[in-house]
Structure 1
Amino acid sequence: MTSRNTAEAAVSSDEEAAIGTSGAEAPPVRAGRLSRVALLLVVFICAACGLVYELALVALGSYLIGNTAAQASIVLGVMVFAMGIGALAAKPLQRKAAVSFALIELLLALLGGLSVLGLYAAFAWLHLYTFAMVGVALIVGGLIGAEIPLLMVLLQRIRKQDAGSAVADLFAADYVGALLGGLAFPFLLLPVFGQIRGALVVGAVNAVAGTILVFTLFRKDLGVRARIGLGLASGAVAVILAGAFVFSSSFEASARQAMYRDPVVYAQQTRYQEIVMTEEFSWEGSSDFRLFLNGDLQFSSVDEYRYHESLVHPVLAGSRGDVLVLGGGDGLAVREILKYPDVRTVTLVELDPAMTDLARTDERLSVLNGHSLDDPRVTVVNADAFSWLRESAGTYDAIVVDMPDPDETATAKLYSVEFYGLVGSVLAPGGRMVVQSGSPYFAPKAYWCIAETMKEAGLATVPYHVDVPSFGDWGYFLAVPGDTPPTLTMDPPPGLKFMDQRLLEASTAFPLDRPPLELEASTLMNPVILEYAQGEWRDY
């Protein structure tokens, strides 16, 4: 129950009159410090629950749709608007504040607890996520907004005080509770319960807090019918939430499978992303094994060698004693690097430890990457690449930047002038770097924006692109510090299946319908590449 934009409704002259009337006509309640503390504790709990509902909607939208900034703006804007409407709509309920509050908490617990589950279903099967999300935000926000005026009445029932003091006490508990909810969501609920079960647990807490308050401090407000009705309603909410909790795993598996063409063989929601692996067998028995992060394809085992040979071997044509890999937690780029016996060290910086653990322990993936992360030359660092580069004191002969596409706020910073400046700063003299840069056909603005961004960071680049059937036309930039572009050449080890010097030279030619573009560089404060990537990929 966050109380933004509801203070005016809580202290308006109409509501002050309602408070006085309600207090005069309602049965007396047990007054005293303990009763007041108990009510403010419920305010604290409901505030935490309300903020968790908001954050859950934002997080779910970010995972399913991307564009965290837009999802947060829509959810928070709609919910704050609805909270104001809910506060006004609560005026007629103040004469029966206790019963009304209990019913609102039960309804809020039910809808808020089931919100993630319902929206996931709307996304997976109905393709109506945005409309459903706005509807849920309106209803949940309205119910949250109705809490404050009713709690104001109940607070005054325990002990009369001036409106300013009552508002101060109420909002103090509310804001501190919101802090608890804000911290509990990412650091407790998501890691322990996940999105769906976390919302269900919070819904149960919400229902218990609201009903216990009414059945203890305000039980004299309840007639026999009201007690029976609230008891039955509480039981129904408990059964529904408990049932949803029990069957949430099977539901999630079914909903997830609906979003993928091939059978899902592994799925994990980590602190940073959703990792999904699928596998399909042809009639001949060959396997197409695929990895997805937040729904975006990372590789297909059928043709990933095309992508990784093109990414790695041109940059290793120069010095390559010490190699840095940023991203690429699947270990496939490292596999290609280790084909050179004169590589002394490989440092892999990957944000998500679950990804590198999977690359080591999953039988399919570890066989595909040649158990590369277990090689003694490889050091795995689980850290944010941007922050790690700022603190790094070493230098590297070759750097491979194999990051997810810049179609989310979190990844757009990894395609900024500032990031490429940091990468360039750890290049040894004569060193080279390569960046996977998306598709120059499907997303030409995003692709050529990377070239301008690297130029702004003091790097000279050579663009090249190849055909990767599971991705389409896919591009890269080879770069060195200074104004002179590097020579695109290869010193390949034996056993490559796709890339050679002849193909590498041809890969620098771009068709007339996808010529180079001159665009604005992307920075931390103005991540234009995010707009380019989201806009261009929308139709594919």
Structure 2
Amino acid sequence: MAAPVTEPPPAPPALGRRGRALLLAAVAACAACGLTYELVLLTLSAGLTGGGITQTSLIVAGYVAALGAGALLVKPLLARAATVFVAVEILLGLLGGLSAVTLYVTFSYYGTDTVVLVVATAVLGALVGAEVPLLMTLLQSDRPGTDAAATGRVLADLNAADYAGALLGGLAWPFLLLPLAGQIRGAALTGVVNLVAAAVLAAVLLRPAMSRRARRGATAALLVAAALLGGLILNAGDIEASARQRLYADPVVVAQRSDYQEIVLTQRGDDVRLYLDGDLQFSSPDEYRYHEALVHPALARDPGRVLVVGGGDGLAAREVLRHPSVREVVQVELDPAVLELGRTRLSELNGDALRDRRMHVVADDAFRWLRERAARTGPATAGFDAVIVDLPDPDTPALGRLYSTEFYGLVRAAANPGGLVVVQAGSPYSTPAAYWRTVSTITSAGMAVTPYHVHVPSFGDWGFALAQVGPAPPVPELSARAPRMRYLDDAVLRAAAVFPRDRRPQQLAPSTLDHPRIVRDLRQGWSR
């Protein structure tokens, strides 16, 4: 009986100088994709769940650990390095390209994506970790018996290409892919780069080292993966819109991702709601309760010059401009996209406040703006008679710095003697530690504080902090010149300074730049 015909084992590829250059270019491309996938995971973690140093550290540490695991797991497959490398690149392109949409849809439908995030970190990290041993094997495949110095030179070339590619990926994600394509399309386009690298190497350089069966399998897999990613790129907008709508009870009328956050505006009938990174900022039927309680206690001494920090929707500015003593308002808001929304879609709700002749609107980071102002001020520099701090809840380290002792020290420096400062401080009922931490932090900056709270149906029990420089806390009151309000009056404001027995004041250590305790407080409060 004749022996079965077997296909001879593939020979190692003869690289040559040009082949090695092409392979090193592939190393750079693959490294760029590998780092981009890690940034995709970090961006989604921050955008969907608020991120945080713990989750960020787990992703980074898990990804690095998975790199090592992938390098070990691929050792038995190095004898067929060419075929395995092409397979790894196809898998990496497909799974990495689908990672963003998978995480986004999972979060939208199930409210959490922790399991998917952990699995994605492990799988993508392992595949990226398998690349370097495979590439090192390929680079040395036509140099048998090389000495230690030659091996070192090959490794130096490999590392240089790998790190250069990582730099490209690190720059491409925040400056090109994310702003121009978004998270879902950006990840898919990165996956396409992996597929192109696999296709070029398989067709040009590694073809002699792959069996006919391997080449056919790779071609079929490349076509399927390219079709899936191409369909995702074409339909990413519809997929994202459908998934996003599941996050909100009301129809989404505006959805955009700015350089700083995801901005969503919903509307059902007369109820207009603004969400930043998924957190509700206001609901039009009851926002007047929040903004009257925030603004008018700080205007009790009839200020002429007022500083508003945050509040890009223009609703706090609307209330400030209603007070007859106000001559000038400086508003510092980080996100120009929110300001544009305040000038357009929200202009009727805010009374076109952001276009008022008394308004001077600055698009800048409040911490940086206050610090630079403090550095350039002189004796003749005018301060502010009232300061209103209307910032989102500090659920990330970036926002936590705006609830720190250092920040409130800058706020104190910006206020004139006798000026009042008011800060939105979260819920004393739902997140009591975060609320009283804010009060303690303002006190640590050298201001005396009077806490107070009101009921806002959309938020529940909501708290504020009224402060002034000096040993005595200010008395919450309204100016005799205050405009007539729908909710707030003197009796309501006096009652607002009373807290029930189950929400008594807490004396807590302040939140600082070095130790942003308030971020942890807020997360723990929400988890309960």
Q: TM-score range by the shorter chain?
A: over 0.9
Unaligned runs of 5+ in 1: 1-23, 282-286
Q: Could you tell me which residue of structure 1 aligns to residue 338 of structure 2?
A: 355
Matched, 1:45 2:29: yes
1:487 aligned partner: 475
Query: Could you tell me which of 240, 246, 263 is aligned with 1:258?
Result: 246
Correspondence list, 1:477-516, <5 A:
477-491=465-479, 492-516=481-505
Judge conservation of contact 2:303–2:326 (CA < 8 Å) in 1: yes
Matched, 1:79 2:63: yes
Whole-angstrom CA distance in 2 between matches of 1:391 and 1:127: 41
Residue 109, structure 1, aligned to residue 90, structure 2:
no
Look up the equivalent residue of 1:460 and give its one-letter code.
Answer: A
> What letter is aligned with 1:64?
L
Pairs within 5 Å for 1:255-334: 255-281=243-269, 287-334=270-317
Cα distance in structure 2, aligned partners of 1:248 and 1:318: 53
* Cα distance change, pair 101–446 in 1 and its aligned pair in 2 (3 A): same
Q: Please state how far the C-alpha of 1:260 moved relative to its aligned partner.
A: 1.2
| Aligned partner of 1:389 among 359, 370, 383 | 370
Paired residue secondary structure (2:322): coil
2:78 is aligned with 1:94: yes
Q: How many angstroms does 1:319 deviate by?
A: 4.2
Q: Secondary structure at the match of 1:441?
A: coil
How far has the Cα of 1:158 moved from its partner? 5.0
- Determine which of 523, 526, 529 is the counterpart of 2:515: 526
Letter in 2 for 1:29: A
Name the Cα RMSD after superposition.
1.5
Alignment partners' CA distance in 1, 2:15 and 2:158:
19
Asked whether the 8 Å contact 2:308–2:329 carries over to 1, the reply is: yes
Which residue matches 1:133?
117
Equivalent residue in structure 2 for 1:67, among 51, 75, 85: 51
TM-score (norm. length: structure 2)? 0.94
Kept in 2: contact 1:450–1:521 (CA 8 A): yes
Alignment match of 2:218 (pick from 226, 230, 249): 230
Task: Give the Å deviation of 1:164.
Answer: 2.1
Aligned 8 A contact 1:307 1:468 in 2:
yes
Asked if the contact 2:307–2:384 (Cα under 8 Å) also holds between the matched residues in 1, the reply is yes
SS in 2 for 1:145: helix
CA contact (8 A) 1:105 1:211 kept: no
Q: Using the alignment, how far apart are the partners of 1:254 and 1:319 within structure 2?
A: 49
Alpha-carbon separation, structure 1, partners of 2:493 and 2:525: 27
Whole-angstrom distance in 1 between the partners of 2:197 and 2:142 = 18
Q: 1:157 offset after TM fit, Å?
A: 2.6
Aligned residue number for residue 406 of structure 1: 394
Instruction: Map Cα deviations across residues 41-78 of structure 1 (whole Å, 9 max, x no partner).
Output: 11111111111100111110111111331221121122
Aligned length: 508
Partner residue in 2 for 1:538: 527
What is the percent sequence identity of the aligned residues?
51
* Shift, 1:533, TM fit: 0.8
CA distance in 1, matches of 2:244, 2:363: 27
Q: 1:209 aligns with which of 197, 217, 239?
A: 197
Q: Give the Cα separation in 1 of the matches to 2:156 and 2:13.
A: 24
* Secondary structure of residue in 1 paired with 2:188: helix
Query: Does the 8 Å contact 2:12/2:141 carry over to 1?
Result: no
1:337-359 alpha-carbon deviations (Å, 9 max, x no partner): 11123312111111111100111
Q: Which moved more, 1:219-228 or 1:444-453?
A: 219-228
Native 8 Å contact 2:323 2:483 kept in 1: no
User: Which residue is equivalent to 1:29?
Assistant: 14
Take 1:339 and 1:452, find their aligned partners in 2: how far apart are those partners?
A: 31
SS in 2 for 1:484: coil
Q: Are the equivalent residues in 1 in contact too, given 2:386–2:419 (CA < 8 A)? A: yes
Among residues 335, 344, 358, which one is paired with 1:377 in the alignment? 358
Q: CA deviation at 1:159?
A: 4.8
Instruction: Indicate if the aligned counterparts of 2:428 and 2:435 stay in contact, CA closer than 8 A.
Output: yes
Contact 1:190 1:271 in 2 (8 A): no
Verify the 8 A CA contact 1:67 1:409 in the aligned structure 2.
Answer: no
Is contact 1:319-1:430 (8 Å) kept?
A: no
Shift of 1:225: 2.6
Q: Distance in 2 between matches of 1:28 and 1:412?
A: 55
| Partner Cα distance (2:372, 2:488) in 1 | 35
Deviation at 1:28, TM superposition (A): 4.2
Q: Over residues 143-179 of structure 1, what are the superposed CA-to-partner deviations in whole Å (9 max), with x where a residue is unaligned?
A: 0111010000111135565332222211111112111
CA distance in 1, matches of 2:348, 2:112: 39
Corresponding position of 1:3: none
Cα distance in 2 for partners of 1:406, 1:50 equals: 31
- Three-state SS of the structure 1 residue aligned to 2:449 is strand
Return the offset for 1:304. Answer: 0.2
Instruction: Tell me the secondary structure at the aligned position of residue 338 of structure 1.
Output: helix
Provide the secondary structure at the position in 1 that maps to 2:458: coil
The secondary structure found in structure 2 opposite 1:314 is helix
1:312 Cα offset (Å): 0.4
Secondary structure, counterpart of 1:272 in structure 2 = coil
Say whether 1:176 aligns with 2:170: no
Deviation string, structure 1 residues 16-62 (Cα, Å, up to 9, x no partner): xxxxxxxx973441411x32222111111111111110011111011
Give the corresponding residue for 2:4. Answer: none
Partner of 2:103: 119
1:421 aligns with: 409
| d(CA) in 2 for partners of 1:314, 1:195 | 42
The TM-score, its normalising length taken from structure 1, stands at 0.92
Q: 1:148 aligns with which of 124, 132, 143?
A: 132
Distance 1:120 1:28, change over 3 A: closer
Q: In the alignment, is the contact (CA less than 8 A) between 2:334 and 2:364 conserved in 1? A: yes
After TM superposition, what 4+ stretches of structure 1 lie above 6 angstroms from structure 2? none
Asked if structure 1 preserves the Cα contact closer than 8 Å seen for 2:32 and 2:165, the reply is yes
AA aligned to 2:164 is V
Provide the secondary structure at the position in 1 that maps to 2:464: strand
- In 1: Cα distance, 2:143 partner to 2:303 partner: 76
Equivalent-residue separation in structure 2 for 1:372 and 1:60 (angstroms): 34
Distance across 2 between alignment mates of 1:122 and 1:485: 48
Match of 2:5 in 1: none
SS of the residue corresponding to residue 299 of structure 1 reads: strand
User: SS state of the match for residue 513, structure 1?
Assistant: helix
211-220 vs 377-386, which deviates more?
A: 211-220
